[in-house]
């Protein structure tokens, strides 16, 4: 489980996160939603340690991550898998080298053992015969799947996804969502996903946190989200025309 | 103030770069990759520039020695010492500040904005050390070779002028090359090449590693990296010359 307590973060005097607290449970897909610029990416990057919070604490299974030294943080980070919005694959490396990379850095396995694990992970994300391809030769959906394969290659305890379906067609986005959900259950990871894709929210949102202007505005499940009386949340959720058709009684400001 | 701020950040980055490597076998592999990328791939341009510098230097030296009291072998001596003391180390460093410096800044800048550096950090890897340290070592190891190559090729360019023109004759030119040779000049040139290699790599890496924004910012960082590297090469050229000669 990951818990954040009273997290605040500012950049050049501008408050981006304001006193956010939340719990993200193991084996569940926890979604952080909000408009672009609401602070959800900063929250995710603060949780993984890319940004240092101005105030507050972050707990990884009751270990206070913010109070650890660099070496201790490294041990936690080895248990983290992260899928970036653009994939963040190393473009000078092949698919195989990208996925093998964490194994090279953190294990003493033989080359054959590593390749076996890499092939398993690539097969797990439904990518075969792509080992020798470079990221520039892959489609958006394939890049995301390689990123997922790289994220799970060390059997992570924590999985973070920054807008994993952005820029993908609805069918591929659905496949990526399903894959993340399956992996969360299979590896029993604490999964945190940043998204503004309502399809993802309704498909895989075991727990949903709505961030509005840097503060936590709402928290609940995907079932509760459609019946919420939070105006800011409703403005966000029902902004899409297709939702307005199905929920005509919702007041959108 | 901004200069001091950047200087502070530069030294903080250097501290991270020189922290204990994660896994030495990976660093060894990266070192050889960087030798190829930064060193071997620069031989061509060093070769061309040095050849023409040597040839032009020979003509210019001959042009300024019209007095019959000056022995003609001084042309060879002048070309040798000019190449050794200044051209092969400093001019090559300035060329590399453009070629290698902008390459390093662009590579790291692209990795920064495409979140590849963030990906390394999240994996628990010291990205500064992993990405920059092998580049520094590769350049420090290879730049003295480039300086030596530049000297040899420059002298060869001068020799061809001596062979194919009437400015001087080859035997006098070769005699001049061997006359009153001071081995310390070579040591001086190699010391400069090591310092310049360090400056070019670290300054360019600093600007590339800290890029924020998009493609335009990478382009800006690449330009600033080349310009700043060149300025620091020239500044340290003056300091080292004052200290070492």
Evaluate if residue A252 carries a pLDDT over 60: no
Evaluate if residue B119 carries a pLDDT over 60: yes
Task: Please write the tens of the pLDDT for every residue from A1-56.
Answer: 999 999 999 998 899 999 999 999 999 999 999 988 889 999 999 999 999 999 99
Q: Which residues are within 8 A (CB) of A26 and not within 5 positions of it... i.e. 6 or more apart? A: A1, A157, A188, A189, A190
- Could you tell me which residue, B232 or A230, shows the higher pLDDT? B232
| Cα–Cα dist A3/A244, whole Å | 34
Closest Cα of chain B to A166: distance in Å? 15
Q: What is the number of other CB atoms lying within 10 angstroms of the CB of residue A51?
A: 18
DSSP state of A4: E
Q: How confident is the model at residue B210 (pLDDT cuts 50, 70, 90)?
A: very high
Q: At what angle do helices B215-244 and B92-113 cross, to 10 degrees?
A: 150
Starting at the edge strand that comes first in sequence, how are the strands of the sheet with A2-11 ordered? A14-24, A2-11, A55-60, A63-64
Q: Which residue has the tokens 């076996």?
A: A116
| Cα–Cα dist A164/A86, whole Å | 8
Q: Which residue has the tokens 């006193």?
A: A19
Nearest to B136 by CA among B81, B78, B198, B62: B198
Closest Cα in chain B to A103: B123
Residue A182 backbone phi and psi in degrees, to 5: -60, -45
Question: What are the chain A neighbours of B114 within 8 Å (beta carbons)?
Answer: 86, 88, 91
Closest Cα in chain A to B115: A88
- The answer to whether B123 faces chain A, any CB pair under 8 Å, is yes
Mutate to test the interface with A, among B114, B127, B135 (most CBs of A within 10 A): B114
Q: What's the pLDDT score for residue B28?
A: 87
Task: Please write the tens of the pLDDT for every residue from B144-184.
Answer: 999 999 999 999 999 999 999 988 889 999 999 999 899 99
Closest Cα of chain A to B215: distance in Å? 15
A interface residues, B as partner, C-beta within 8 Å: 45, 48-50, 73-78, 80, 82, 84-86, 88-91, 101-102, 104-106, 160
- The answer to whether B26 faces chain A, any CB pair under 8 Å, is yes
The pTM assigned to this predicted structure is: 0.87
The full length of chain B comes to: 245
Q: Once rounded to an integer, what is the mean pLDDT over residues A91-103?
A: 93
Closest Cα of chain A to B237: distance in Å? 35
Q: What's the pLDDT score for residue A247?
A: 67
Closest Cα in chain A to B22: A105
Q: How confident is the model at residue A248 (pLDDT cuts 50, 70, 90)?
A: low
Question: What are the chain A neighbours of B124 within 8 Å (beta carbons)?
Answer: 73-78, 80, 106
Q: What's the pLDDT score for residue A251?
A: 59
Q: Once rounded to an integer, what is the mean pLDDT over residues B81-105?
A: 93
Q: Do B123 and A78 touch (CB under 8 A)?
A: yes
Q: What's the pLDDT score for residue A240?
A: 67
Measure CB to CB from residue A86 to each of B114, B124, B125 and give the nearest one. Answer: B114
Q: Once rounded to an integer, what is the mean pLDDT over residues A181-187?
A: 91
């Amino acid at each position: 489980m990951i818990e954040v307590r009273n997290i605040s973060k500012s950049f050049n005097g501008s408050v981006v996160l304001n006193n956010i607290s939340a719990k993200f449970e193991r084996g569940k897909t926890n979604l952080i939603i909000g408009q672009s610029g609401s602070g959800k990416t900063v929250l995710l990057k603060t949780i993984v340690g890319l940004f240092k919070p101005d105030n507050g604490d972050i707990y990884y299974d009751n270990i206070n991550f913010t109070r650890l030294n660099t070496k201790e943080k490294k041990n936690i980070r080895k248990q983290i898998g992260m899928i970036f919005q653009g994939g963040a694959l190393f473009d000078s490396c092949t698919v195989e080298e990208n996925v093998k990379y964490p194994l090279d850095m953190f294990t003493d396995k033989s080359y054959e053992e590593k390749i076996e694990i890499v092939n398993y992970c690539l097969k797990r994300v439904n990518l075969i015969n792509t080992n020798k391809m470079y990221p520039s030769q892959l489609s958006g959906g394939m890049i995301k799947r390689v990123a997922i394969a790289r994220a799970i290659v060390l059997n992570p305890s924590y999985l973070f996804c920054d807008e994993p379906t952005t820029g993908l067609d609805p069918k591929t986005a659905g496949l990526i969502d399903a894959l993340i959900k399956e992996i969360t259950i299979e590896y029993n990871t604490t999964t945190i996903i940043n998204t503004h894709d309502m399809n993802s929210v309704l498909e895989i949102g075991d727990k949903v946190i709505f961030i509005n202007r840097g503060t936590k505005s709402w928290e609940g499940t995907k079932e509760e989200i459609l019946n919420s009386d939070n105006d800011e949340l409703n403005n966000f959720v029902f902004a899409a025309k297709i939702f307005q058709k199905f929920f005509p009684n919702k007041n959108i400001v | 103030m901004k200069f001091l701020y950047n200087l502070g950040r530069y030294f903080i980055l250097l501290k991270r770069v020189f922290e204990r490597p994660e896994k030495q076998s990976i660093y060894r592999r990266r070192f050889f990759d960087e030798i190829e990328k930064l060193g071997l791939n620069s031989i061509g341009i060093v070769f061309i520039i040095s050849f023409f510098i040597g040839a032009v230097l020979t003509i210019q030296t001959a042009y300024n020695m019209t007095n019959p009291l000056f022995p003609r072998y001084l042309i060879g001596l002048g070309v040798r010492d000019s190449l050794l003391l200044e051209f092969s180390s400093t001019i090559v460093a300035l060329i590399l500040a453009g070629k290698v410096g902008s390459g390093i800044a662009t590579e790291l800048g692209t990795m920064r904005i495409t979140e590849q550096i963030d990906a390394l950090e999240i994996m628990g890897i010291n990205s500064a050390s992993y990405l920059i340290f092998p580049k520094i070592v590769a350049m420090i190891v290879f730049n003295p070779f480039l300086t030596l190559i530049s000297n040899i090729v420059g002298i060869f360019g001068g020799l061809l002028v001596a062979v194919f023109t009437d400015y001087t004759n080859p035997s006098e030119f070769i005699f001049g090359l061997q006359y009153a040779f001071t081995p310390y000049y070579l040591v001086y040139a190699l010391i400069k090449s090591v310092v310049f290699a360090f400056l070019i790599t670290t300054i360019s890496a600093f600007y590339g590693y800290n890029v924020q924004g998009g493609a335009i910012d990478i382009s800006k960082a690449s330009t600033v990296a080349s310009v700043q590297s060149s300025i620091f090469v020239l500044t340290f050229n003056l300091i080292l010359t004052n200290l070492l000669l």
